[in-house]
Amino acid sequence: MTINMNDMVIISVDDHITEPPDLFDKHLSPEHLATAPKFCTDENGKNYWTYQGMYMPSVGLNAVVGRPPEEYGMEPSSLEQMRKGVYDVHARIDDMNANGIAASLNFGTVAGFDGGRFHKAENKELALIHLRAYNDWHIDEWCGAYPGRFIPCGILPTWDMDATIAEIKRIAAKGCTAVALNENPTVNGLPSIHDEYWEPMWKAITDYDITMCLHIGGGNPSPHASMETPIEAWITTMPMSVAVGAADWLNLSALQRYPTMKIALSESGIGWIPYFMERADFSHARHKAWTNSAANFQGKKPSDVFRKHFMSCFIDDDFGLKNLSAFDEDMVAYECDYPHSDTLWPEVPEYLHKSVQCLTDEQVAKVTHKNAMRFFNFDPFKHYKREELTVGALRAAAAAANVDTTPKSYGGAKPLADGEEGRRVVSGDLMKMFAHHAEAQTRSAK
Amino acid sequence: MTINMNDMVIISVDDHITEPPDLFDKHLSPEHLATAPKFCTDENGKNYWTYQGMYMPSVGLNAVVGRPPEEYGMEPSSLEQMRKGVYDVHARIDDMNANGIAASLNFGTVAGFDGGRFHKAENKELALIHLRAYNDWHIDEWCGAYPGRFIPCGILPTWDMDATIAEIKRIAAKGCTAVALNENPTVNGLPSIHDEYWEPMWKAITDYDITMCLHIGGGNPSPHASMETPIEAWITTMPMSVAVGAADWLNLSALQRYPTMKIALSESGIGWIPYFMERADFSHARHKAWTNSAANFQGKKPSDVFRKHFMSCFIDDDFGLKNLSAFDEDMVAYECDYPHSDTLWPEVPEYLHKSVQCLTDEQVAKVTHKNAMRFFNFDPFKHYKREELTVGALRAAAAAANVDTTPKSYGGAKPLADGEEGRRVVSGDLMKMFAHHAEAQTRSAK
């Protein structure tokens, strides 16, 4: 490659929003606003949401960007314990500029990556109304504030297939080209993806050319070996836990009926995927005679089906990029994971430029932005000239706006009790921190 | 590489035995034989074992070698439904010869890969006696029948640490250089590997230079996405499910105290491992400031710890072998997985010779046999000349003995009900087949 770091254009296909308190205000009638999810603050200053009798204790969920690394394990429990870019779109643009990110696809937090909060609501009539308002906020208000800087990503009321189809049409009309889905709907009590229940959705999704984003964490678990396991073990294996869902979807017969179906494996990592594809081919070749899957794959190799339909993405993945030839090079994209603890903000360009050294200029363009643009039908260059969206230009804008990226202490719930400092943090500590946090919030909300 | 297929020497570090009915006969007093696990046959000719009120319905566990591929999904329910090499050591040697396998490390079935059956027994005094007899059978009778052709692999009574240490000494004195352990002892109700409970075992294991084999399937689960998921998805992701245990053990502080500790990830596959190592390094670098793991790794990268202590193995893994430079090339070995459905028997030499084309002759020697010999302190050349253990020589011996490798129909429990032929086999079908099979056996045994 010959491209300079400052000339790169970077699109991230996986970032997160902690929803702001006024989320629903402009998108609901007073009557429906009264029953919408509500942002609250307890007597200790902790923020939480309530909805239909449910409590969503953590408003942060690992939103630790901008802290010193010593505080990455501390869980924000109020907006004040987070960088403003986590929940404020204007500050987000500043943070994207400082990080040289031209555009970004965002998942929600209180709603769940996949809109799961609305699935858990008992009154589904209200949930549908509020879910639509959520999409209006996300598409019109958040993404709409800076056209060309965000790839809108809706959520769907998949408990009701008619409403799902209607919502696909509605958000597509707004220019939304992606939806976030739970990769394993059985965890929400819905039929598996192999059930005919989903047929109308497959049709509508492909008719309206919408990409389905399957983000880790919503459906299939990322297992902890034991509660005494050092937490880095869990962090290490989390992206690879995508494999269970990826294999499930790879065997979806609808892929054969809808050849334009597009699936993004959000936060997947890429380095393990060539092995996964080869293993899928081996499994099919060795077992198809008794699994009766030959008719499904119609002589195609599972790896070819994967390459055609699935986009994977990487944060920092030298081994995967070195083996880009094992992929369809049009199907790999960058992800920043702002504001979660894996994010390399504000140094993404430095890390990324280094790890794409092994690629050609055209390959660099593809994995940094062109693939995301094509896969998500998203064209930032309709709104900006290329030279306005380069790392150099965006960072110059951030500098002009005095965006401060100095690490700051933000506090929050601690994984270790006082007096335990220095002990290795284990899976059980995180479980306890979340359970304690949830319990405290529930008590205070009553 | 320049080596001919027929000149290769192949050692497999992962194969399986279905235990024969007379397993305990020569290794227990009449009194203890009376309470030992018992091989039974029901009125339909099905075989099962009983032990301390437990039933072990399937004597086969995917032991489908030698069948036509259409029958790979059918579960053998009697010894008659299996190739004789599965349970008879003389026939096993014939099958190894036909497949060009010089030597093999075998895991048990009724005992569990990890000896888990004895962990589940209520009377632990008897369990200890029977476990020792099991090791005597495995080491002296099975492996002892053909010195130089088997790498003995014991099991340990880890519910009792004193007995465990004693058993390590006892089997080491017999020349046993490997043990099979559950990679996640918490599933057997024991403390996690991070507990000081295990300290005496770490010491004895390294004092006696014994390799710990962690075989998939005993501890951490290999998840099914849903009961409607086509079964090939599960087959595809099974080896990668090793990652959860591998990350757990990679974070074991005992690795720092016992620099010669050796861990074999049995049935791991290899192609995903370079990504896994890079991801472990990333996780450590980004998170050590709050996880307090810096002191544990002492400035070393997790990938270096992995390369030093962990052997991984492959059945058929072009991508992994192509990227052998990402490993310590002394720490990758071949596995055959006879008699399970992934095995390439009797064509291992053909597949293997093709997939090692990208390696040097010395690398081929390492991954096919030298690494296994060093890691397991095993030297078949004490018993045979090299030229007696090549693929060509062994196959000539098999031909002289008229070993018949023609696929044969063996029957067994079917995954699909009559009338369902042609439908894709899904996870739920396998669950039902096993549950039905277990229930039938339990009824008949009462």
**CB-CB under 8 Å, A195 with B235:** no
Helix (H, G, I), strand (E, B) or coil at A272: coil
Distances (CA, A) of A198 to A118, A151, A185, A189, B196: 18, 25, 10, 14, 50
| Residue of B236, B252, B340 best to disrupt the A interface, most CBs of A under 10 A | B236
CA distance A219 to A213: 13
Chain B residue closest in CA terms to A422: B292
Is residue B205 within 8 Å of B168, Cβ to Cβ? yes
Nearest CA to B430 out of B237, B224, B215, B218 is that of: B224
Q: Which residues on chain A are in Cβ contact (under 8 Å) with B337? A: none
DSSP 8-state code for residue A14: E
pLDDT in tens, chain A (446 residues): 899 999 999 999 999 999 999 999 999 999 999 999 999 999 999 999 999 999 987 788 899 999 999 999 999 999 999 999 999 999 999 999 999 999 999 999 999 999 999 999 999 999 999 999 999 999 999 999 999 999 999 999 999 999 999 999 999 999 999 999 999 999 999 999 999 999 999 999 999 999 999 999 889 989 999 999 999 999 999 999 999 999 999 999 999 999 999 999 999 999 999 999 999 999 999 999 999 999 999 999 999 999 999 999 999 999 999 999 999 999 999 999 999 999 999 999 999 999 999 999 999 999 999 999 999 999 999 999 999 999 999 999 999 999 999 999 998 999 999 999 889 999 999 999 887 766 655 554 44
**Alpha-carbon gap: B216 to the closest alpha carbon of chain A (Å):** 13
Residue-level pLDDT at A445: 47
> CB atoms < 10 A from the CB of A274, how many?
25
Nearest CA to B267 out of B355, B366, B345, B334 is that of: B334
Helix (H, G, I), strand (E, B) or coil at A39: strand
**pLDDT, chain B, mean:** 95
Is residue B156 within 8 Å of B188, Cβ to Cβ? no
Across the interface, which of A272, A291, A341 has its CB nearest the CB of B73? A291
**CB-CB under 8 Å, B244 with A225:** yes
Q: Which residues on chain B are in Cβ contact (under 8 Å) with A220? A: 223, 225
Residue-level pLDDT at A386: 98
Residue-level pLDDT at B271: 98
**CB-CB under 8 Å, B291 with A73:** yes
Residue B41's pLDDT band (cuts 50, 70, 90):
very high
Across the interface, which of B186, B236, B247 has its CB nearest the CB of A237? B247
Residue-level pLDDT at B194: 98
State mean pLDDT over B276-293.
97
Residue B5's pLDDT band (cuts 50, 70, 90):
very high
Which ipTM value was assigned to this complex? 0.96
**CB-CB under 8 Å, A248 with B233:** yes
Across the interface, which of B245, B278, B422 has its CB nearest the CB of A318? B278
CATH of domain A5-445: 3.20.20.140
Encoded amino acid at B207, one letter: D
Residue A165 structure tokens:
């189809």
**Alpha-carbon gap: B136 to the closest alpha carbon of chain A (Å):** 32
Residue-level pLDDT at B435: 79
Backbone angles phi, psi at B37, to 5 degrees: -55, 140
Per-residue model confidence as pLDDT tens digits over B46-65: 999 999 999 987 788 899 99
Handedness of CA B318, B324, B327, B333 (dihedral sign): positive
**Alpha-carbon gap: A247 to the closest alpha carbon of chain B (Å):** 5
Across the interface, which of B193, B275, B425 has its CB nearest the CB of A269? B275
Residue B177's pLDDT band (cuts 50, 70, 90):
very high
Residue B438's pLDDT band (cuts 50, 70, 90):
low
**CB-CB under 8 Å, A320 with B225:** no
CA distance A109 to A104: 16
Per-residue model confidence as pLDDT tens digits over A202-211: 999 999 999 9
**Alpha-carbon gap: B101 to the closest alpha carbon of chain A (Å):** 21
Residue-level pLDDT at A440: 54
Residue-level pLDDT at B446: 45
**CB-CB under 8 Å, A69 with B231:** no
State mean pLDDT over B237-264.
97
Residue-level pLDDT at A438: 63
Q: Are strands A154-155 and A150-151 parallel, antiparallel or unpaired?
A: unpaired
Per-residue model confidence as pLDDT tens digits over B366-417: 999 999 999 999 999 999 999 999 999 999 999 999 999 999 999 898 999 9
